[in-house]
Structure 1
Amino acid sequence: MVRRMADEAFRDEQESGRYAPHVRAINEMVDELRDQDGRGWMPYVAPWHGGVDARVLSVLRDPGPKTQDGSGSGFLCMENDDATAERQCTGFTEAGIDARVTTPWNAYPWYINRAPNAEERRAGVTVLARLLGLLPRLEVVLLQGVDAQDIWRRLEKTHPQLVGEAQYEVVHTYHPGRQALWSPDPAIRAAREQQRHDSYQQVAQALQR
């Protein structure tokens, strides 16, 4: 399946819209945080998504190679040209969730292409708390993978006023990357895929309520 980010016109559209009203506040924050304390690259959120109007926040571990500027799109986007983005896009589409009601993010939003360490997780919590303050319509948080789930637990401890009881519906699932889903046992692989499918359906049901 050809991903939209593989199309030059679509990429140009995302680039020209990176400060569109619904993503301006988030992407201006990204500008501020890029290379903060020498941390390096941080991708924008693509205007293809809901930005500050999002009802769903989808959190993974860290930006993948296809988010890099130059060799990738420069954006967090479910239309990036990689298998992880495609699995997410398929899951949301099958559940009837439009990309425009979602905003993608990462436990550690700077590009490292590995699991974040303890200090990096603390930095990720600080940024995630700030992001939540930009999402007034947020209803559901989808935590995809153990790193995203760990960051949320840390956030609950350090910023309880942001994530208090009944503030958001929080859904846990596997990271959509191949490594997280793979097992030599086909029954385990199938169970993990089914759990992911069920989690996306749970998000859809929460939005309907």
Structure 2
Amino acid sequence: MAPADKWKRAQPDDPFWVQQCEGLRAEHVAPLNELIGRLGDGKDGVRLPLAAPWHGGIHAPALMVLNDAGEPRDETRFMCIRNPDRAADRQRHLMTEFDIDPADLCHWNGYPWPRLDPKRDLTPEQSLEGGRALLEVMGLMTELRMLLLLGRKAQDAADAVLPEIVSGYPDLHIVRSLHPLGAKRTVDREEQKRVWAGIASRLREGKQDS
């Protein structure tokens, strides 16, 4: 794993993405990418972003849920903090500041399918649909200890199936916070950093206990 100060945006022609494509069937991401394929097929073959092998996949201790898939483009084919976009930049900065290993995280979206109106809140039906998909992802995870709900849509999807999450994962630590780009004010950024410092602390504790 590259040290934190070496992380950078990977543009669409970066060899990094070739490596990610070559690893799609790696043991820790193959189940996720198979699920992503099924979810896309269920929506008339729509394309969803894939799980990047650079991250921890099903063995990650933390499942980080953002909002929705947006509109898939060549530069965002994967769910990855090295994507060339502002949200990924902010995630990298936070993970670098608090020394969080990319392998400690598995990425997901509260509503995993692209939407024509991504700026709008999820409808109740979309929240439930996203929540059911979230439960499927959680069922694949082997070491899940933390569920990070970052953004309104991520939280709405989880809330739609919260009784199932609580009953199925009674020891799960759930974190609710802003989307990486949601911290507009200084006070919001300070709170965001406090939350990520807590995430890093729990991840370190988990490694010491294992």
TM-score by length of 1: 0.86
4+ residue segments displaced more than 4 Å: none
What is the alpha-carbon root mean square deviation over aligned residues? Answer: 1.9
Q: Offset of 1:157 from its aligned partner? A: 2.6
CA contact (8 A) 2:111 2:127 kept: yes
DSSP-derived class of the 1:171 partner: strand
Question: What amino acid does structure 2 have at the position aligned with 1:198?
Answer: R
Q: Could you tell me how far apart the structure 1 residues matched to 2:166 and 2:176 are?
A: 19
- Answer yes or no: is 1:206 the counterpart of 2:202: yes
Deviations 1:35-59 (A, max 9, x none): 4144832111111110011011111
Q: Offset of 1:7 from its aligned partner? A: 4.6
Counterpart selection for 1:15 from 21, 32, 53: 21
Counterpart selection for 1:40 from 46, 55, 60: 46
Q: Could you tell me how far apart the structure 1 residues matched to 2:102 and 2:70 are?
A: 19
Partner of 1:108: 111
CA contact (8 A) 2:56 2:106 kept: yes
Question: What amino acid does structure 2 have at the position aligned with 1:206?
Answer: R
Deviations 1:70-114 (A, max 9, x none): 3x2311111100011110111112111110110011110111233
Q: Which stretches in structure 2 are left out of the alignment for 5+ residues?
A: 1-6, 206-210
Query: In the comparison of the two structures, how many residue pairs are matched?
Result: 196
Q: Could you tell me how far apart the structure 2 residues matched to 1:128 and 1:13 are?
A: 27
Counterpart selection for 1:171 from 159, 175, 185: 175
Q: Could you tell me how far apart the structure 2 residues matched to 1:57 and 1:21 are?
A: 17
Q: Could you tell me how far apart the structure 2 residues matched to 1:39 and 1:17 are?
A: 22
Counterpart selection for 2:86 from 71, 83, 88: 83
Q: Offset of 1:176 from its aligned partner? A: 1.3
CA contact (8 A) 2:32 2:140 kept: yes
Q: Offset of 1:138 from its aligned partner? A: 1.0
CA contact (8 A) 2:8 2:82 kept: no
Counterpart selection for 1:195 from 176, 191, 198: 191
Instruction: Map 1:106-185 to 2 at 5 A.
Output: 106-112=109-115, 113-114=118-119, 115-164=121-170, 167-177=171-181, 180-182=182-184
DSSP-derived class of the 1:133 partner: helix
CA contact (8 A) 1:107 1:124 kept: yes
TM-score by length of 2: 0.86
Partner of 1:95: 98
Q: Which stretches in structure 1 are left out of the alignment for 5+ residues?
A: 183-188
